[in-house]
A and B are shown apart, each in its own frame.
Chain A
Amino acid sequence: MLDADFFRRWMTAAAAAVDREAERLTALDSAIGDADHGSNLQRGFAAVTAVLEKDAPQTPGAVLTLAGRQLISTVGGASGPLYGTLLRRTGKALGEAAEVDEEQFAVALRTGVDAVMALGGAAPGDKTMVDALVPAVDALGEGFGAARTAAEQGAEATVPLQARKGRASYLGERSIGHQDPGATSSALLIAALVEADDE
């Protein structure tokens, strides 16, 4: 079973991963975006870990709802409302249970991913975070490790795609050949589930 502590560890591990990979995310974003993805997420997830420590939410749903709200208010780029919506909707779908099982989490995360697609209007293949998140949710039934692999493969598979959403889409064919920064950070977020589970 997954409790509030598990989800706190998930957010802490995600913050550490974003810190570790911030330069790489920003480098990817400077190729096809505005070179702020790493620093934006660093600021956002640092604020998430701080507010989780301060408010100490007691349920899985409350942890993710608070984290999502914090991302929306602190990131300052499109990744704020998108990741914020992902976590907040996932959190709301988990309700007020003190513990949830992996299957309940998988169902809730799919609700979150659907909300991200509705908000940004992106579908799989558009070279966005959706390209890592959808395969990850599809694989979540086989465990966190399988979800991580699927997300990483999904992110790598964005390299040959032409961007159809966001600022990168203005580049047209010139967006081809670069890995999408949002799909890359989404893979980090999913990989952080494995770390949270190992602790």
Chain B
Amino acid sequence: MSDASLVGIVLVSHSARVAESVAELAQGLVGDGSAVSVAAAGGTTGGGFGTSAELIAAAAAAVDRGAGVAVLADLGSAVLTVKALLAEGDELPDNTRLVDAPFVEGAVAAVVTASTGADLGAVEAAAVEAYAYRKV
């Protein structure tokens, strides 16, 4: 399976460390997770808590291999900024989708699924399904 066919994953959090750690965790939990392009877009460009449209756009461009990009976001402005960028039309790669999923569990599911060469719809479905994994 060539890397060129894999869906890219972007993790958007208010915190740079949360985004980076979840990216690391998700890739670490997948056998060939390093084959999947995962980029963290956490915090503001100044290093504070918040959301940066610039970091999100750069992350999406960095993981785009032509098979689509799945974006997971944590809270409030992270979600709103991704939605606003998508509405803008030309800020994110074609075939970029905001995925409605729990941040950590959804990221793991998305990276695992992307590593199998699944298409964007399947990656999205796997991440969304993570909401259904009850813990008690």
Tell me the A residues contacting B by CB distance below 8 Å: 36, 40, 69, 72-74, 76-82, 84-85, 88, 115, 119-120, 166-167
The verdict on B80 contacting chain A, using a C-beta distance below 8 Å, is: yes
Q: Kindly state the separation between the CA atoms of A73 and B48 in the bound complex, as whole angstroms.
A: 15
Q: Beyond A72-B81, A85-B87, is A80–B53 a contact (Cβ under 8 Å)?
A: yes
Chain B, interface SS category: helix
State the Cβ distance, B19 to closest chain A Cβ, in Å.
14
State the Cβ distance, A87 to closest chain B Cβ, in Å.
11
Please report the total number of B residues contacting A with Cβ < 8 Å.
16
Q: Are B77 and A72 in contact (CB under 8 A)?
A: no
Q: Are B77 and A76 in contact (CB under 8 A)?
A: yes
State the Cβ distance, A91 to closest chain B Cβ, in Å.
12
Q: Kindly state the separation between the CA atoms of A85 and B52 in the bound complex, as whole angstroms.
A: 15
Contacts of B88 in A (CB 8 A): 69, 72, 88
Q: Beyond A69-B88, A88-B88, A166-B76, is A77–B83 a contact (Cβ under 8 Å)?
A: no
State the Cβ distance, A156 to closest chain B Cβ, in Å.
25
Contacts of B77 in A (CB 8 A): 76-81
Q: Kindly state the separation between the CA atoms of A198 and B9 in the bound complex, as whole angstroms.
A: 50
Contacts of A69 in B (CB 8 A): 88
Q: Beyond A81-B80, A167-B76, is A76–B51 a contact (Cβ under 8 Å)?
A: yes
Identify the closest chain A residue to B54 (Cβ). Answer: A73
Contacts of A84 in B (CB 8 A): 84
The 6 closest A-B pairs by CB, nearest first: A81-B84, A76-B50, A78-B77, A81-B80, A73-B53, A76-B44
Identify the closest chain B residue to A79 (Cβ). Answer: B77
Contacts of A167 in B (CB 8 A): 76
Q: Are A78 and B54 in contact (CB under 8 A)?
A: no
Q: Are B87 and A119 in contact (CB under 8 A)?
A: yes
Q: Kindly state the separation between the CA atoms of A173 and B74 in the bound complex, as whole angstroms.
A: 24
Choose among A73, A79, A82 the residue with the greatest number of B CB atoms under 10 Å from its CB.
Answer: A73
Q: Are A85 and B76 in contact (CB under 8 A)?
A: no
State the Cβ distance, A178 to closest chain B Cβ, in Å.
18
Q: A72-B85, A76-B50 are in contact. List 7 more A-B contacts (CB 8 A).
A: A40-B50, A80-B80, A81-B77, A81-B83, A84-B84, A119-B84, A166-B76
Contacts of B87 in A (CB 8 A): 85, 115, 119
